[in-house]
Amino acid sequence: MIEPTTMTTRLRADSTWNEGASANAEKQTLPSLLSTLRNGLTSRGVEDTGKINGYTLTSNGHVHSTHGPTKAELQKPPRSRESFEKVPFITAALTHLGFYILMFLGFINQLFFVPKIATEKNREGYAPLYDNFEKFYLKYVYRRVRDCWNRPICSVPGATVTLKDRVTHDYGWTFQFTGTETQCINLGSYNYLGFAEASGKCADESIKTLKKFGCASCSTRLELGTMPIHDELEKLTAKFLGVEDAIVFGMGFATNSLNLPSLVSKGCLVLSDEKNHASLILGLRLSGAVTQIFKHNNVKHLEECLKKAIVSGQPKTGEPWKKIVIIVEGVYSMEGSIVHLPEILELKKKYKAYLYVDEAHSAGAMGKNGRGVCDYYGIDPREVDILMGTFTKSFGSAGGYIAGTRTLINHIRIYGHAHTYAASMSPPVTQQIITSMRIIAGEDGTDAGEKRIKQLAKNTRYFRRRLNQIGVIIYGNEDSPVVPMLVYLFSKIGDPYSDDP
């Protein structure tokens, strides 16, 4: 099935409620399974039987908690609306048709015009980089509109962004810079709160740190790469999120892909939202755990998967799963939806599963205090076993974190490859996060952070409302700063460039 083309827009500062699923969850009577602790893991308020999902738990660093929204809280009406407008039949038909025509033209193109560049075939002795369809698609279909993306920028990614102008004389195979620049409205960066700036407090303090500690530690955290600034950021992150401890890494993508293998392995089952980010998917592939996809943000389907998994156990042996972990995102970066956290937490507790929430797009941007989706829903963050997030969006920096109990974080400090084998976060990058986080938290003694959070929430609703008014189809939750705008017709995307040779 061909997905409609979405243009995802991230705003800057300058749920539906599934009652059926809750009712279903009420009737369900699976054996009461108790959560557990191992290797120093603590389980709050639950008797430790060493069993979970009917199985003995191995060292994993996860902890269950009994905190959480009450039933009355869960039955509150949704605070915001989420919509995924159905595409009209005629638009869907034209989109498919347009796409097939492009593919057909691309195919003809491939037959008659051999490109002068990118001619290398798969090298002997090396794994192929792309599959055949991917190669064809990138060269003969996507190339036509490539100039709409992959544009080099030469300014901070603020409300406006400066693009380096370029031209193509061979229909998008190659580009040459013209030496001129164009300033545009920025609809594509993740700089939600506007902290990615070249001047101001964050930049000034980062420069001071650069002068004191340099750009890099040139070592891993476990060797000579830990500086006081890293400890400071970890303590601050834990405090900001309202959990016991946190660990930080130099790259958001690696935070998922290199830490998941330390949390799940063979014999574990992961129930992963179908729209989860590539970094989560890669981490799961590396882990060796069995991954099952559930429909996007669909609590009912998730519950069916949980029930089935517990009843059937592992394939072939029928043995119980060592662990069942649900992985979701806070705000989905391509759909603009917000995770149905209260209901998923209910399921997690009922079926004694673990919950991993990737807050790349929600930490800093969601909730009254910018503390993410737990803040948005008024949920105790300690309810979530593993809170993951990145510093590349609201904090205007780079890197990622995992936060939770001290036991979980200690576990990752030993078993997480990104901590053990990758160089530590660059000091000025670390300082940028510390300064922006302190501003968001109001620890700088001003209300500048609060103002940015409020402005983002206001901009989000305003932007969505006005797009609706002009008749554009947009997706997602009205509180989501990610605003996907559907364009549908592939050829229309490249239209402004139709004058190009």
Ligand X SMILES: Cc1ncc(COP(=O)(O)O)c(C=O)c1O
Measured in residues, the chain has a length of 501
CB of 280 to ligand X, least distance (A): 7
Please identify, using beta-carbon distances, which residue of 175 and 395 lies nearer to ligand X.
395
- Contact flag: residue 217 with ligand X (CB under 6 A): no
CB of 443 to ligand X, least distance (A): 23
Angle at 245 between CA 241 and CA 246, to 5 degrees: 75
Would you tell me how many other CB atoms lie within 10 Å of the CB of residue 79? 14
- Contact flag: residue 189 with ligand X (CB under 6 A): no
- Contact flag: residue 392 with ligand X (CB under 6 A): yes
Query: Can you tell me the distance from the alpha carbon of 418 to that of 146, in angstroms, rounded to the nearest whole number?
Result: 33
CB of 483 to ligand X, least distance (A): 15
CB of 360 to ligand X, least distance (A): 3
CB of 329 to ligand X, least distance (A): 5
Stretch of 252-260, 421-429, 440-448, 458-466 contacting ligand X, by CB under 6 A: 252-260
Binding pattern for the stretch 462-501 against ligand X, x by CB under 6 A and - elsewhere: ----------------------------------------
Residue with tokens 């989420």: 82
- Contact flag: residue 335 with ligand X (CB under 6 A): no
Among 139, 277, 411, 419, binds ligand X (CB under 6 A): 277
Binding pattern for the stretch 78-117 against ligand X, x by CB under 6 A and - elsewhere: ----------------------------------------
CB of 90 to ligand X, least distance (A): 33
Non-local (6+) Cβ contacts of 357 within 8 A are: 328, 329, 330, 339, 341, 373, 384, 386, 387, 388
Query: Can you tell me the distance from the alpha carbon of 409 to that of 403, in angstroms, rounded to the nearest whole number?
Result: 7
Among 209, 333, 394, 405, binds ligand X (CB under 6 A): 333
Is residue 183 within 8 A of residue 193, CB to CB? The reply is: no
Counting other chains too, the contacts that 458-462 makes at CB distance below 8 Å and 24 or more residues apart are: 459/11, 459/12, 459/13, 460/11
Closest CA to 356 of 332, 390, 380, 386: 386
- Contact flag: residue 409 with ligand X (CB under 6 A): no
Query: Can you tell me the distance from the alpha carbon of 247 to that of 30, in angstroms, rounded to the nearest whole number?
Result: 36
Q: How many residues bind ligand X (CB under 6 A)?
A: 14
Is residue 321 within 8 A of residue 354, CB to CB? The reply is: no
Closest CA to 459 of 196, 192, 195: 192
Stretch of 320-328, 354-362, 443-451, 462-470 contacting ligand X, by CB under 6 A: 354-362
Among 156, 236, 251, 268, binds ligand X (CB under 6 A): 251
Distances (CA, A) of 45 to 63, 108, 205, 260, 458: 11, 67, 43, 27, 40
- Contact flag: residue 360 with ligand X (CB under 6 A): yes
Among 234, 245, 273, 329, binds ligand X (CB under 6 A): 329
- Contact flag: residue 253 with ligand X (CB under 6 A): yes
CB of 359 to ligand X, least distance (A): 8
Chain centroid to Cα 289, Å, comes to 20
Among 18, 272, 390, 431, binds ligand X (CB under 6 A): 390
List of residues contacting ligand X (CB under 6 A): 251-253, 256, 277, 279, 329, 333, 358, 360-361, 390, 392, 400
